Amino acid sequence: MTPAEGGATRAAIVAMASDRVIGRDGTLPWHYGEDLKRFKRLTLGSTIVMGRNTFESIGAKPLPQRDNRVVTRSRFDNVACFKSLESAIAGCRGNIWFIGGAKLYAAALDYCDFIDITWVPDTVSGEHLVYFPELDETHWREGPRTPLEEDNRLIYQRFYRR
């Protein structure tokens, strides 16, 4: 992996349940306002890279004050679209956040310096569940788990590349 241009970081950011569920039926299966505020605070002014399903799940509108990039074979007129992850991150300046979904996370992990996780207390059931990829502990070092001050039901943790 090569570092991002100018010493910036590349990281995945994700909220997930203890069983690694990150989505159900094309949507986020929970809503925690404090986690969304944290997501916004961390990603503002950065490049965010997502897959088509994630883009559609946020209303098919770019998130403001961020360089939005969608990896897709489809075309959207209101956002920069790329056919591959490599082309999406080429030429990016500053921090890059990979924001989902599962296929994008799986492809992006090789580029990440760290993974920023919010653990949610929810148990999600049903059909069409989407999971975050399993992490190979030979490649990732687990950081401490810290309750979010604003909502102690949520636990923040980072995994760092070894």
Domain that holds residue 115: 5-161
Contact criterion met (CB below 8 Å) for 83 and 74:
no
Give the count of domains, the chain. 1
29: CATH: 3.40.430.10
What is the pLDDT at residue 1? Answer: 37
Contact criterion met (CB below 8 Å) for 29 and 23:
yes
Per-residue pLDDT reduced to its tens digit, 103-126: 999 999 999 999 999 999 999 999
Residue 121: other Cβ atoms inside 10 A: 11
Per-residue pLDDT reduced to its tens digit, 62-113: 999 999 999 999 999 999 999 999 999 998 999 999 999 999 999 999 999 9
What is the pLDDT at residue 4? Answer: 52
